Chain A
Amino acid sequence: MNQEHGSIPGDPAQFRTTCWSEILVAAESQMPGSAEALSTLCRDYWYPLYAFARRRGYPSHDAQDLTQGFFLSILKRHALKQADPARGKFRSFLLGSFQNFLADESDRARALKRGGDREFLFLDAEENESRYELEQTDQLTAEKIFDARWAMALLTRAAKRLQEEYAIAGETTRFEILRSFVGVELGRSPPTYEEVARMLGLSAGAAKTTIHRFRKQYAALLRQEVLRTVSDPTDIDEEIRALCEALVVAEGRL
């Protein structure tokens, strides 16, 4: 892995456009800056996992603790030893690892609960059976929710990237005027072309072109962000389609 390219060794920014599997490998070898890059990567996708845990029936506080515990495990590189990041998608890796983590946590909790009380064990088993039946239908829904949330996180991440790029170029004001044309963070409708033209001091035609370009820049960054989450560049389109499908299936319940 070549770290040159005008970046400062140890600076997490050097990993900004690096594929997720490369970041894991770098983190495992404790490359300077990689731990923070991994932390950032995890933070961006915290909510989809939290939503998954909630959908699986964990109370809010437990879901938070579990998600946090899982990411701590990732950051301590415990989970990395079980992963094969050379293949597959970051989305699948995180969800699969999280499911294993939840199963392990559940086993630990059950072991503590048993305590040698046979009657309690019976009740516990019954409860688990009911829970198992519930999970057969819930699990699918939880996975769909996770995928839809993942898509939303990607859209948010791309908007952040765009904001960063505009900030670096000293164009923060311009970004603020245009930002409501992309992403999923702001609920309000974007301004009209005329309003944008007035704010930027452009003609209506030039404003329309500017907005078009802004959206294209965003689309390119979004594509880059998707690329970061797959291991093979040829999987980008498939991943985007899968995320579109997840959003369609979620039917706006986000």
Chain B
Amino acid sequence: MNDDKVTSPGHGISVCPICGTKIPVSLAPALCPVCQLKAALTVNLSDSAATEPEGLANGVEELTPGAIGSFDHYEV
């Protein structure tokens, strides 16, 4: 995702400059929902606090391989 200008085919529909998905013109192209979902698809689960200088100091839990099968100690 980046801040590139969006191309507009009209009718209130824009096109994501990255993945080409049609998105509502009211949505900033940098916020293409498909690109955001794909980021969740490719998020590196082993890329946790070790590669983040401040880790998730803001309290955000980042998934680790061991966390995939459980949440808050609930087995899924």
Contact = CB atoms under 8 A, between A and B. Distances in A.
Contacts of B52: 213, 216
A184 B33 CA distance: 7
A188 B31 CA distance: 9
A244 B68 CA distance: 21
Contact of A14 (B14, B24, B33, B72): B72
Most interface-central of B36, B39, B68 (chain A CB within 10 A): B36
Contact of A220 (B36, B53, B61): B61
A189 B34 CA distance: 17
A66 to B, nearest CB: 25
- Majority DSSP secondary structure for residues of B touching A: loop
Interface in B1-58: 1, 3, 12-14, 21-31, 33-34, 36-41, 43, 47, 52-54, 56-58
Given A220-B63, A224-B63, A247 B28 contact: no
Contact of A215 (B24, B39, B47): B39
Interface string A212-251: 0101111111111011100111000100110110011011
A187 B14 CA distance: 12
Contacts of B31: 180-184, 186, 190
A233 B27 contact: no
Contacts of B34: 244, 247-248
Interface of A: 1-2, 4-5, 7, 14, 16-19, 22, 151-152, 154-155, 162, 165-166, 168-169, 171, 174-175, 180-184, 186-190, 192, 209, 213, 215-224, 226-228, 231-233, 237, 240-241, 243-244, 247-248, 250-254
Given A217-B62, A241-B41, 10 more contacts: A2-B73, A174-B58, A175-B58, A186-B31, A189-B3, A219-B39, A220-B61, A224-B71, A233-B69, A252-B14
Q: Which 7 A-B pairs have the closest CB atoms?
A: A252-B22, A252-B13, A222-B40, A17-B71, A219-B39, A169-B58, A219-B43
29 contacts: A2-B73, A7-B72, A17-B72, A18-B74, A165-B58, A168-B59, A171-B58, A180-B28, A187-B26, A187-B28, A189-B3, A189-B28, A189-B30, A213-B54, A216-B47, A216-B52, A217-B56, A219-B39, A222-B36, A226-B40, A227-B71, A227-B76, A233-B69, A240-B37, A243-B37, A244-B38, A248-B21, A251-B13, A254-B24
